[in-house]
Amino acid sequence: MIKLVVFDLDNVLIDTETIDEIAKIKGIEKEISDITLQAMQGKIPFEDSIRQRVKKLEGISTAEIDEVMQSISLNPGAEETAAELKKQGYKIAIISGSFDVMGNIIKEKIGADYVFCNVLEAENGKLTGEVSGPLVTQDKIDVLRQLVDDIGITLDECVAIGDGANDLEMIKNAKIGIAYNAKPILKEHADFIINEKDLRMVLDIMADEEMKTQEVVEETEEEITTTEEEVVAEEVTEEIEDVEAEATEEVMEDVEEVSEEVEETDVEEVPEETVEAASEDDVEDEAVDTEETFEDASEEVEAEEVEAEEVEAEEVEAEEEEVADEEAVEEEVEAEEVEAEEVEAEEVEAEEEKPAIDYSILNFQQLLQCKRTLESELTDLKNERDQMNEETKVYRKERDELNQKLKDTLKIALEKRNERDEINKQVRENKDLRNECNEELKKVEWNSGKKEISNIQAEINKIDKTIQTKVLDIRKENELVKRVSDLTKQLKKIQSDEEEEKAAEELKEKSETYHQKVVELSDKAQAIHEEMIDYFNQIDGIREDADNRHRDFIKSRNAATAKHEEVKAKLSEIRKVNKFMDQAKAKPRGRKSEEKSDSDKKEKEQAEEIFQKFKDGKKLTTEEFLLLQKYNIM
């Protein structure tokens, strides 16, 4: 697509040579014009010509130059053309070997975006005869290449308009090169030639060229859009699958974790060899502690498991609806395209069945009337086509905005997913820390005096039971009593380790802190997860709107294309009429020439009869004598 339109200055935007107008101040315009003409015809290098001409301007007042420049007017259609180009979003550049004293004025008048001209050097208000600037040592194509690089486009996105040999490379390398009232060397290489002094013809050329390339560009954009939509759909599908997999994986991990904790709890609560020996109070305390340690974790995992199952069900349902919507849209678009093709075929068939006019039997005036009618119809068709193109642009813009909104929404949803995953990572880290504290706490408690006290008390209880239930001899009974007495003394001496008790309290506090973080972070992750699901749900609505707008775009584009075909057919018909008009003009001239030939033949035969009369000795009149002279008979 065209993005930049480049104009030459002298004899293109203005109807004169700037340097010639400056030369008039000094009365040396003839000398300057001769050098200019040679340069424009490519007979001398441009750099040599510019330096030679500027040297002759030495001493001219800059004040006089400014006054002359202000009086120079634009070529017809220059302002209207520039205004329309700007309205359509094109950038405008002026690249000229002329001078900034004129270039800057014209830049302001037409609202050009860039101007590249040479500079007339001056001192004390007088020209020094020296010149500088980008176009002294460089060609225009070099300046244009630098410009397109700077603004990030290519030469295939440029239109160049010039009139002289120094515009040749720029005209050849631009996507569209236009020779404007140009020298023969430029016309040979230009894509289009304008021989009238009306720059508005540039707009007609660009409109026709843009229309030719529009179909290809729009088809490409449609393919790109379709591909992007498929990519977005794939990303959404993959995201939903990822969410399902992650939810399932988290549930399984939590279930396994609970199972392991419960198994550990079963083992740690009541060791088999100690059941009978341990006191009931100690066992109950340890069972309560263990149960409290893991009760919250079990409830939390069960809640997460339920939520994950609900989310999984919602996402599966959303995925199924999404697939169904996509299939429905595809079927609808295909149906509309088939319908459009059938309508177009019917219109073409109707056009072919319409009886054609036999222009060969019409006279010039009838052909002229046909041409005027066709031109009027052509104007109406162009207006309808242009209106359809505007509607198509609006639909395409709205569709592209919706597609962008779709991408932005997906981006936010993915960011929410990443944020949720990061929080879940913190949840797992805090769970691990909490579990480590609980494991360490168990070790500290069993390594302290509690374990020894429990074992001694269990042995005492066992001996008492033996004494009470069994018949013992006196020696055996005394041994057992002594053993109980020793154990009781030993039990009194055992003191709990204060440092280990302190460490156990710290571990309990840490475990509670980590557990609180797990709860808080889990709630936060769940809230963000719900936001993520909401954004995914929004995607369906946005995509539906984008699909509707894309259908409107396709329908409008097809209508505009069909209308453009009618425009082309009407132009072809006008060219056909022109051909017959040329033939009709030639027929009167042919008939007149044929009539004159018959008249001359009869007149010559008459002259030969008069000559025979003269030979017979008869007297001739003056008219008869002149007729003989006319045909050199005597």
Task: Show which residues are catalytic.
Answer: 8, 10
Whole-angstrom CA distances from 320 to 280, 328, 418, 482, 536 are 59, 12, 24, 81, 13
Total residue length of the chain:
634
As a whole number of Å, the end-to-end CA separation of the chain is: 77
- The string of DSSP codes covering 99-145 is EHHHHHHHHHHHT-SEEEEEEEEEETTEEEEEEESHHHHS-HHHHHH
- Say what angle helices 78-87 and 201-269 make with each other, to 10 degrees: 10
- What are the backbone dihedrals phi and psi of residue 120, each rounded to the nearest 5 degrees, phi first? -80, 120
> Is the separation of the CB atoms in 292 and 261 below 8 Å?
no
> Is the separation of the CB atoms in 363 and 580 below 8 Å?
no
- The string of DSSP codes covering 419-485 is HHHHHHHHHHHHHHHHHHHHHHHHHHHHHSHHHHHHHHHHHHHHHHHHHHHS---HHHHHHHHHHHH
> Is the separation of the CB atoms in 190 and 202 below 8 Å?
no
Per the DSSP assignment, residues forming a β-bridge with 222 are none
**Helix, strand, coil % over all residues of the chain, rounded to 5:** 80, 5, 15
C-alpha to C-alpha distance for 406 and 303, rounded to whole angstroms: 33
> Is the separation of the CB atoms in 179 and 187 below 8 Å?
yes
C-alpha to C-alpha distance for 36 and 84, rounded to whole angstroms: 32
CA–CA–CA angle 113, 116, 118 (5° rounding): 150
Task: For residue 85, give the nearest of 178, 168, 170, 10 by alpha carbon.
Answer: 178
Radius of gyration over every alpha carbon of the chain, rounded to an integer in angstroms = 50
C-alpha to C-alpha distance for 420 and 216, rounded to whole angstroms: 44
- The string of DSSP codes covering 215-254 is HHHHHHHHHHHHHHHHHHHHHHHHHHHHHHHHHHHHHHHH
